[in-house]
Amino acid sequence: MKSIGIDLGGTNIKAGLVDKSGKILFKTSVPTESELGYKHVIEQIIKATTIVIEKDDDVVGIGIGAPGIVSAEEGTVKSPPNIPGWKKVNLGKILSDKFGKKVFVENDANAAAIGEYIFGAGKTTKSFIMVTLGTGVGGGIIYDGKLFRGETGGAGEIGHVTINYKGRKCNCGSYGCIETYVGNQRIVEKVKREIKSNPDSKVVELAGEKLETLSPKTLYDAAKLGDEYAIKAIEDIAVMLGAAFASTVNLLDISTIILGGGVSGFGNFLLTPLKKNLKERVLAPNRPRVKIKLSKLKNDAGIKGASSLAFYHS
Amino acid sequence: MKSIGIDLGGTNIKAGLVDKSGKILFKTSVPTESELGYKHVIEQIIKATTIVIEKDDDVVGIGIGAPGIVSAEEGTVKSPPNIPGWKKVNLGKILSDKFGKKVFVENDANAAAIGEYIFGAGKTTKSFIMVTLGTGVGGGIIYDGKLFRGETGGAGEIGHVTINYKGRKCNCGSYGCIETYVGNQRIVEKVKREIKSNPDSKVVELAGEKLETLSPKTLYDAAKLGDEYAIKAIEDIAVMLGAAFASTVNLLDISTIILGGGVSGFGNFLLTPLKKNLKERVLAPNRPRVKIKLSKLKNDAGIKGASSLAFYHS
């Protein structure tokens, strides 16, 4: 059994042929070129799909992971950020008319959760919370073997769980959301602020005098060299994530968290204090059960997650 | 159709005969007397049930709302607080053996949510979050017409959603949980601290020079008299609740909150700023949908919630 997964990103549309074990047999990428208008983006989606389906059309279906508000039932994608003019498009119908296959549309965070459930770290768990740490903090909830969608498919927005109600203003309009502390850009900004008081940190050596190459990865590299500031900065992230995760675990009574995305690459510098903080913060009955696993999809997680939709529904 | 509801409280065991509309046809109460040991408490539960069933035994079942960790599947109640010696008791089996009826056991917060769903403010809504504001802050989640239990029946612990990860230490061991700011006792403590800077507040007049009768109700009474301090103190509660509720709504994509318990008696002094804060804090797609309703079960909510379990399962 094979399926096609399409990852609709702001810069590129990635598409791939994936087998039941989650192995990518073939993949391609075309530029999104959203500046040319949303109709062009739809053409690009069709183009990427065509490239894959011409390679092999013996698939159970086509899955699409898209940003924005998705109605899985209707197959529509509403207002994806960064694609001007795109109001509500029935991608499901467009692609099934074009290719004569079953098409499954889901928001990208939910697709990532289903991907872990079908192929990855969630294969052996009936319920878990998937958290993707990147530019933003995304999430998806699998409960008792099913995607927990909420009323409109938007459930799992763990990035907008607040850890400090009087804290920093978030892009969403609220205050103190976890995303506003641990999103990639926010980490970089924080290091830039703090590095002035830590001029001897290896971070400066690695990122250049003007911190021109500074990224979350720099922190990791510095931590590996034993840099105290970097180790502490990653610990701070763990403490904040631990608080947001504890609120989530207490609310859902779901004890497994699967971490994906770039920041999860901090390894044990993040995981060890995160596990400790989470355990200390959850309610007593959850303490012996709570655990954090790392995502297994890593590279091409977007394609794999999207392709898993077709396996999940069939 | 009628059922029996049993509300296992720390001080009293309340039992009642309830019809399908949620009307209590008969009720009784016996002291819990937990100081006499857990076996005695079980005898008291049987006693209360017997009083009701002797009145009318034509019931579809018996529902029990209990504190502690409940396995609805097994019918067991584990480690309820304040009943020494009670480890794990199969209340379901004990009562069904004794009375020959179907028995449904659920934790009290979940029973309250089901009660609102069957009889109350949740009757017309397929998904909502029930929040009970009292000594603690309890919660239960109804999703798509079903109780969302989580892995062990503990889902809905909204009282232990943090609003300030470096905030006040909570009884649960974590920091800044919403319960530690808006639980009844915490409200009283806060007023006692703040009243020194507000000696002319009507609160002092109402509660006595030494604040000997101070309760959350005093704040409400003072607010009704136009007392600025009291109005502001209730607004503070609204802001904090708004933050915890926004995290919850964002995570679950469930847009209706039903408020019950004593503090919800603050009326519009609480509701108006709470609605405003919640709307401002939830993600944009949720803003037009989010709403707060007041619980309809009020008096004897415990009996009604417990009795609703039998209707819910039949």
DSSP-derived secondary structure letter, B158:
G
d(CA B132, CA B130): 7
Between positions 9 and 68 of A, the ones with CB within 8 A of B are none
Q: Inform me whether the C-beta atom of residue B80 falls under 8 Å from chain A C-beta atoms.
A: no
d(CA B62, CA A51): 62
Q: Inform me whether the C-beta atom of residue A153 falls under 8 Å from chain B C-beta atoms.
A: yes
Mean pLDDT of chain B: 95
Token couple for A155: 């459930």
Q: Which helix (H) or strand (E) holds A3?
A: strand A2-8
Q: Could you give the 3-state DSSP secondary structure of residue B96? A: helix
Token couple for B125: 């809504």
Residues A133 and A282 in one domain: yes
Residues A308 and A186 in one domain: no
Q: Identify the segments of chain B with pLDDT beneath 50.
A: none
Please name the member of A152, A243, A251 whose beta carbon is closest to the beta carbon of B155. A251
Q: Inform me whether the C-beta atom of residue A174 falls under 8 Å from chain B C-beta atoms.
A: yes
Residues B265 and B241 in one domain: yes
Looking at residue B217, its amino acid is K
Please name the member of B155, B165, B253 whose beta carbon is closest to the beta carbon of A252. B155
* Residue in the structure block whose two tokens are 């279906």: A61
Residues B309 and B230 in one domain: no
Residues B35 and B131 in one domain: no
**pLDDT tens, per residue, chain A with 314 residues:** 999 999 999 899 999 999 999 999 999 999 999 999 999 999 999 999 999 999 999 999 999 999 988 999 999 999 888 888 999 999 999 999 999 999 999 999 999 999 999 999 999 999 999 999 988 899 999 999 999 999 999 999 999 999 999 999 999 999 999 999 999 999 999 999 999 999 999 999 999 988 999 999 999 999 999 999 999 999 999 999 999 999 999 999 999 999 998 887 899 999 999 999 999 999 999 999 999 999 999 878 999 999 999 999 98
d(CA A52, CA A311): 17
What count of other Cβ atoms lies within 10 Å of the Cβ of residue A144?
Answer: 12
For residue A250, which residues of chain B lie inside 8 Å, CB to CB? 157, 160-161
Of B107, B89, B4, B80, the closest CA to residue B43 belongs to B89
d(CA A46, CA A20): 23
What phi and psi, each to the nearest 5 degrees, are found at residue A210? -95, 15
Residues A134 and A112 in one domain: no
- Give me the helix-helix angle, A228-252 and A268-281, nearest 10°: 40
**Closest residue, chain A, to B161 (C-alpha):** A247
Q: Inform me whether the C-beta atom of residue B282 falls under 8 Å from chain A C-beta atoms.
A: yes
- The CA-atom distances, in angstroms, between A300 and each of A40, A64, A112, B187 are 24, 13, 10, 51
Burial category of A75 from C-beta neighbours within 10 Å (exposed 0-12, middle 13-18, buried 19 and up): buried
How many residue pairs bridge chain A and chain B with CB atoms within 8 Å of each other?
A: 141
Of A211, A301, A222, A304, the closest CA to residue A262 belongs to A301
CB contact under 8 A, A155 and B69: no
Q: Inform me whether the C-beta atom of residue A81 falls under 8 Å from chain B C-beta atoms.
A: no
Between positions 180 and 239 of B, the ones with CB within 8 A of A are 239
Please name the member of A172, A251, A281 whose beta carbon is closest to the beta carbon of B156. A251
Distance from CA of B136 to the nearest CA of A (A): 14
Residues B275 and B162 in one domain: yes
Residues A25 and A158 in one domain: no
d(CA B263, CA B266): 6
d(CA B115, CA A7): 43
Looking at residue B206, its amino acid is L
Q: Could you give the 3-state DSSP secondary structure of residue A122? A: coil
Q: Which helix (H) or strand (E) holds A139?
A: strand A137-143
CA dihedral B118, B120, B125, B130 (to 10 degrees): -100
**What CATH number did the domain enclosing B23 receive?**
3.30.420.40
Return the CA Rg of chain A.
20
- The reported pLDDT for the residue numbered A84 is 87
Give me the DSSP letters along A7-54: EE-SSEEEEEEEETTS-EEEEEEEE--GGG-HHHHHHHHHHHHHHHHH
Of B103, B178, B170, the closest CA to residue B139 belongs to B178
Beta strands in chain B (DSSP E): 2-8, 12-19, 24-31, 62-66, 69-71, 76-78, 88-89, 103-107, 128-133, 137-143, 146-148, 256-260, 291-294
What is the tally of structural domains in chain A? Answer: 2
Are A202 and A220 in contact by the 8 Å Cβ rule? The answer is: no
For residue B110, which residues of chain A lie inside 8 Å, CB to CB? none
Residues in chain B: 314
Token couple for A143: 């409960």
- The CA-atom distances, in angstroms, between A282 and each of A35, B137, B160 are 45, 16, 8
Q: Which helix (H) or strand (E) holds A294?
A: strand A291-294
For residue A139, which residues of chain B lie inside 8 Å, CB to CB? 251
Burial category of B20 from C-beta neighbours within 10 Å (exposed 0-12, middle 13-18, buried 19 and up): middle
Burial category of B42 from C-beta neighbours within 10 Å (exposed 0-12, middle 13-18, buried 19 and up): middle
- The reported pLDDT for the residue numbered A78 is 93
Q: Which domain holds residue A59?
A: 2-116+300-313
Residues in a beta bridge with B164: A164
For residue B158, which residues of chain A lie inside 8 Å, CB to CB? 251
Residues A267 and A216 in one domain: yes
The residue of A71, A76, A110, A162 whose CB has the most chain B CBs within 10 angstroms, and thus the best one to mutate to test that interface, is: A162
Residues A264 and A308 in one domain: no
Residues B82 and B141 in one domain: no
- The reported pLDDT for the residue numbered A262 is 81
CB contact under 8 A, A156 and B251: yes
Residues B14 and B159 in one domain: no
